[in-house]
Amino acid sequence: MTVTDRKSRVVIVGGGLVGSLAACFFAKRGHYVSIYEYRPDIRTVDCWGQSIDLALSVRGREALRAVGLEEVVVDHHGIAMRGRMIHNKNGSLKEILYDGVNQNCIYSVTRRYLNIVLLNAAEKYSEVSLHFNKKVVDADLDDGKLTILDTRTRKIEKAKADLIIGADGAYSIIRRTMAKKPRFNCSQTYIEHGYLELFVPSGKNNEFMMSNKHLHIWPRGEFMMIALPNDNCTFTVNLFAPFLTLDKLKTPQDLLNFCEEYFPDLVELIGRQKLVKDYFEREPKPLISIKCKPYHVGKTTLLLGDAAHAMVPFYAQGMNTGFEDVLLLDELMERYNSDFSKVLPKFSELRCEDAHAICDLAMYNYVEMRDLVRKKSFLVRKYIDTFLYKRIPKTWIPLYSTIHFSRMRFRDCIANKQWQDKVLRRTAWCTIFLIIAILMASFVQVSAKKSILY
């Protein structure tokens, strides 16, 4: 990594995962970085609400590796998940490996732990300053000026930057400000389903009560539960369901009847009393998908992570895509020597369509997780993909592997899957025609023999 002679003042709005990681990359290049985060410092105050546990894969790991953090996250905290464990209503289990050829895994990581690691890493750079309880209330993006409210003292502050990074999440103030500009396209979609967090406790001897080597799924067609292992031998569970379904669970008995019908084994693991307590302590949260274009304003402002492309969590790529944003940005800074007038437009050019593609894939994967994984056609396709991947690994790479275990561009991942579908369809039709031709030839031969006999 080349340390540039251009020492820019960078203001990052948002001290979450992507914002704190971006600070490390900018500081490593010698830029001066200020992070403004509206929440308190999570290292001293537990201010988290409910969250979906993270699944770290190659795109995210490469970004962490570049700033020397991969080992502390993966080896010291991450829990390797080698596949999905499907829980059927009758209690039977079905394992579906993520990568039956190379045995690649994804890693369960808690959001709070990872954010603390990243904030600590950013703070070690003398070029980085952290500011908590600071809410951006106005922004002049062309001139790099921000108006900031201290949420404790209620005082107004001003900040000036050569570059503003909007890493302030799905409800980004920076993106909302960009939306006032001409030729900025933005759309948001709330799906009809929400989620609510529950917990499976550890066992009597502080052991896992289910396999800790899998992401557990209870697919039930229109809704599902998932569970990811934590390093304290618990599981974080999320119920995903239509709000129409969740709204009907108004009493403890309604909840217990619902869960005992569809998730009886999970009820036994959580316990009825804890299940009721955890469920009614929280409100169901919505799930949003956001697409926008471009991601930059001139040479002064750039969106990263959920601020640019919030997605539903069903491909486990929200964090990984955000981390890859930072990695791509750093690669462009290296190429253009931190000349933001060249870096930012190139970032939008390279990233927008790819981010739109993974947002669409995340939507599709919800259908796969809650419904398709139960179907024989899904398992047959999984077997075919694994069979071909094992024999022609450079030609046939399954979609899941291209997403999680490579840095192939997301739109290329989709194009690759479409090509595979086309090959299989043509092969199927050719096989059908061949069978018909053989049957017809056999029929003609039999008819010919009969005519000779008579």
The model's pLDDT over 142-199, given as tens digits with 9 standing for 90+, comes to 999 999 999 999 999 999 999 999 999 999 999 999 999 999 999 999 999 999 999 9
- Extract the tokens encoding 336: 């253009």
- Interval 67-75 mean pLDDT: 95
* Share of residues in the chain with pLDDT > 90 (%): 85
Residue 1 reports pLDDT greater than 70: no
Into which CATH architecture does domain 9-80+108-189+289-369 fall? 3-Layer(bba) Sandwich (3.50)
Tell me the pLDDT tens digit for each residue of 369-389: 888 788 888 889 899 999 999
**Residue 241: what pLDDT?**
96
- Cα separation values, 251 from 160, 247, 269, 325, 374, Å: 52, 10, 21, 44, 30
User: Nearest Cα to 235, choosing from 192, 266, 276, 191?
Assistant: 266
- The single-letter DSSP state of residue 82 is -
- Say whether pLDDT at 453 is over 60: no
- What are 5-45's pLDDT values in tens digits? 568 999 999 999 999 999 999 999 999 999 999 999 999 98
pLDDT, tens digit, for every residue of 412-421?
Answer: 999 999 999 9
For residue 404, pLDDT over 70 is answered with yes
pLDDT in tens, 103-155: 999 999 999 999 999 999 999 999 999 999 999 999 999 999 999 999 999 99
Q: What predicted TM-score, i.e. pTM, was given to this entire model?
A: 0.92
Confidence of residue 449 (pLDDT cuts 50, 70, 90): low
Instruction: Quickly tell me which residue has 């993270």 as its tokens.
Output: 54
Q: Which DSSP string do the residues of 378-435 spell out, in sequence order?
A: HHHHHHHHHHHHHHSTTT---HHHHHHSS---HHHHHHHHHHHHHHHHHHHHHHHHHH
Buried b (16+ CB within 10 A) or exposed e, 91-117: eeeeebebbbbeebbbbbbbbebbbeb
Residue in this structure with the two tokens 């006999």, named with its chain if needed: 453
Using CA atoms, how far apart are residues 56 and 411, in angstroms rounded to an integer? 20
Mean pLDDT of the chain: 93
Give Cα 300 distance to the centre of its chain.
Answer: 27
Please list the residues that pair with 160 across neighbouring strands: 145
Greater confidence (52 vs 280) lies with 280
- Is residue 46 within 8 A of residue 197, CB to CB? The reply is no
Largest CA distance in the chain: 107
Residue 140 burial (C-beta neighbours within 10 Å; 0-12, 13-18, 19+): middle
- Whether the CB-CB separation of 434 and 427 falls below 8 Å is answered with no
Contact criterion met (CB below 8 Å) for 225 and 218: yes
The rounded distance, in Å, linking the Cα atoms of 287 and 283 is 13
